[in-house]
Chain A
């Protein structure tokens, strides 16, 4: 992994307590859906792991909710200021010899543009759009919608169809609906108070809309994803969230028990096949 300075291009409120931040850096970025970055907030000890909602050629788009002091500070950071992100590297091995033990020398802290042949990517293992045969169902709860946007773009680029079902508590929390529709993705909404769309859970909205799909992808609160996995028999992928220490697989702070043993959400996930998750 590596640290890289990103400049804040914009940082705007898009729904209640919900912000969209656009970050750009010097050099190519190639993030896959479901991956995350670990963002440094000045004055706070640990980085904040935030999933990537969209990939730019030289940056990322993130959505975050103000839930505590750290994210409150993040929401006050202005365009033009910068933050340091922990990311991973992808190599074009033809152009850049794979000698991982030597490439950082002599200066192990590199904030300058990446060497030729290297792209920055997110942390963790993302969704698998290639596993979808024809039609995907994207199920998001709250800010869980964020990584589904990049996933939808990947699915459409690969010639698959996608339908989204998004759940929110109230109308003032709704985000990413217009963006998904702009891609051509049909969006069904469920709200707990019934102010928009189906009143109830995403499972109610799925039952009402009866979308066709051969694979589903879900990100959101654990009880929601559990209900989704119980209700849907198709193959599915689940994006888990945990409080993280390092965010990069060496502190074992975010380990969960899975069907195949202890797995680190940060490095082995955050996306797991639904059969892996022990609810």
Chain B
């Protein structure tokens, strides 16, 4: 096997490779530590965290779709203090790559508080601000669907985070993704993660009621890949900050495609749920695929299309 350079530089951090499990599809990392060597991953985006512990939404929270699924977990999490004092330090003990804290909130003050706590945690490398969760009634996606409110959250977070790159994770449930991404960049974001899930719904035609207890939820999986790729392309070409591409990625080819569209790192989401080995399989497949495509360094292909 020829030696291939899988490393990418993300806001000054050197990732071993661009493959990152997406928030909400990989727990707090340690849940999968006995399944494969986590250190094959370029980074890990941890489960979305709010100030207070949350139970989340009632079950059923999961619905299957053609080439994808809907989730309505509703930000179940143990709260920011458990993240910074227990979850991130425990993961750091076994994992050398980039640990990404995914932060949610129900007010701008809460976003700022949570990000401040994450900034003070030495085991967290990147802060990913989720202004795009479709599964909570207040907050969440409401902050990410217009440029002004997305910028307000970004600015408030930027003022308290001194030491770490801040990525804003955006929702695809908008008319003009570029204007929102640019507003975040102008407000001081170091990077953009996109896309979060699309708001979707299924109905059980035998029971004549929604499959999901909360009626609607976030749709993700291979079906959304072309849409995600289009948004990554648009944002990466309109902004000068790095993009973590996310949405429907299931194989090494998708990683290359996302990077050619402009992603510096690529997150894998729903695929982890149907195949917990998806990320290590993708990482293992990259060198041979790069070889067949005449690619020596992944860094060189970012945004080349």
Contacts and interface: CB of A to CB of B under 8 A. Distances in A.
A104 B36 contact: yes
Contacts of B60: 242-243
B40 A3 contact: no
Contact of A108 (B33, B56, B68, B281): B281
B25 A251 contact: yes
B303 interface: no
B64 A44 contact: yes
Interface string B2-26: 0000000000000000000000111
A107 interface: yes
A108 B280 contact: yes
B59 A254 contact: yes
A244 interface: yes
Interface string A246-260: 101111111111000
Contacts of A46: 62, 64, 69, 273-274
A45 B33 contact: no
B114 interface: no
Given A101-B33, A250-B27, A262-B76, A45 B65 contact: yes
B276 A104 contact: no
B63 interface: yes
Contacts of A107: 284
Contact of A104 (B37, B94, B275): B37
A46 B274 CA distance: 5
A252 B64 CA distance: 15
Given A109-B277, A248-B276, A253 B27 contact: no
B268 to A, nearest CB: 13
A52 interface: no
A102 interface: yes
Nearest to A261: B55
B34 interface: yes
B277 A246 contact: no
A242 to B, nearest CB: 5
Interface in A220-279: 242-246, 248-257, 262, 267
Interface string B249-280: 00000000000000000000010111111001
Contacts, number: 121
B276 A45 contact: no
| Interface of A: prevailing SS | loop
Contacts of B51: none
B281 A246 contact: no
A37 interface: no
B31 interface: yes
A47 B34 CA distance: 20
Given A255-B76, A256-B59, A250 B277 contact: no
A72 to B, nearest CB: 13
Given A2-B35, A47-B274, A101-B94, A244 B76 contact: no
A104 B35 contact: yes
A251 B67 CA distance: 18
B38 interface: yes
A74 interface: no
Given A101-B39, A246-B276, A109 B61 contact: no
B47 interface: yes
A122 to B, nearest CB: 15
Nearest to A107: B284
Contact of A243 (B61, B65, B66, B284): B61
A242 B36 CA distance: 26
B71 interface: yes
A46 B68 CA distance: 8
The 6 closest A-B pairs by CB, nearest first: A250-B27, A108-B280, A250-B31, A100-B34, A243-B60, A253-B62
Given A244-B62, A245-B71, 14 more contacts: A45-B65, A46-B64, A46-B274, A89-B34, A106-B284, A108-B280, A108-B281, A243-B59, A246-B272, A248-B32, A251-B62, A252-B24, A252-B73, A253-B61
Interface of A: 1-3, 40, 44-47, 70, 86, 89, 100-102, 104-109, 242-246, 248-257, 262, 267
28 contacts: A1-B35, A2-B277, A3-B275, A45-B64, A45-B66, A45-B68, A45-B69, A46-B64, A46-B274, A100-B34, A101-B33, A105-B37, A107-B284, A108-B284, A243-B61, A246-B272, A246-B276, A250-B25, A251-B25, A251-B71, A251-B272, A252-B27, A253-B61, A253-B73, A253-B273, A255-B56, A255-B59, A262-B76
